[in-house]
Amino acid sequence: MQPDTGAPELCEPNLEQLMIRYQQADAAAAAILIERLSPQLYGFFAAQMGSRADADDMLQELWLRIHRVRHTYRTGQPLLPWAYAIAHRVRVDGYRRRRRLSREIAVDVLPEPAARDQGQSDVLPFEELLATLPESQREVVTMLKVDGLSIEEIARATSSTVGAVKQKAHRAYERLRNFLQATSKGAAR
C-alpha cells in the first residue's frame, strides 16, 4: 500500500468523462476521444467494408455525425453503444449510397476473381469469411468478436433486442461453420 501524499491521484479519464467534456466544447477532450476510439471504430468499418479507403471515409463521416449530434449523448450512459449506434447508421447509409451508385454505373464485364497462389494456404482470411455473411450477421459478429462489445451493448447500438442479436450471432456462427466444412471437404477432394 502506498502512503497518502495528500495529492489527488492522477488517472486517465474514461470515455464517458471525455464525452461530457467534449459536449462542453473541450477541444482537448475531443482529440483524446477521437484518438482512443478511432482504431476500434475503424476496425468495425474495415471488417465490413473490405476497402481501407471506404473504411477511412466512413470513419470520417462517423466523427462528423458524432460532432453534430454530441448533444444527444446522455450523461451516465455507456458511450460505446451510443457511438456504435451512430457507426451502424453511417454503415447502412454508406451501403445504400454505394448500392445506388452501382445501379447507376453500367458494368460491361465483371472482373475475374484473383487466383490463389499455389503456396498459399487454404485458410481464408477473416475478412473473406465475414464477407460470406449477410450484412446484419456480419455486423453482429464484428461488434462481438472484433470490437468486444457485449450482447446488450450491440442490441442498444443496433436498436434491436438481445434475443435478435443472439439469434443473428447463432445463425452467423452456423453459417460460418457450414461454409468452412464445405470448403474443407472441397479442398480434400
Residue 183 above 90 pLDDT? no
Q: What is the mean pLDDT of the chain?
A: 80
The total number of residues shown for the chain amounts to: 189
Q: Which tens digits make up the pLDDT trace of 12-58? A: 789 999 999 999 999 999 999 999 999 999 988 888 776 788 889 99
Amino acid at 9: E
Q: Which three cell numbers, joined as nine digits, stand for 137?
A: 450477421
Q: Of 89, 76, 87, 93, give the one whose Cα is nearest residue 23.
A: 76
Question: Rounded to whole angstroms, what are the CA distances from 39 to 64, 109, 148, 189?
Answer: 16, 36, 13, 41
For 107-170, the DSSP string reads -SSPPPPPPPPTTS-SPPPHHHHHHTS-HHHHHHHIIIIIS---HHHHHHHHT--HHHHHHHHH
Q: How far apart are CA 178 and CA 180, in angstroms?
A: 5
Q: How far apart are CA 92 and CA 58, in angstroms?
A: 10
Whether the model clears a pTM of 0.85, i.e. scores above it, the answer is: no
Give the other-Cβ count within 10 Å of 97's Cβ: 10
pLDDT in tens, 63-95: 999 999 999 999 999 999 999 999 999 988 887
* Spatial contact of 189 and 151, defined as CB atoms under 8 Å apart: no
Integer Cα distance of 42 and 52 in angstroms: 9
Catalogue all structural domains in the chain, each as residue range(s) with its CATH number. Answer: 13-104 (1.10.1740.10), 125-189 (1.10.10.10)
User: Residue 101's pLDDT is what?
Assistant: 63
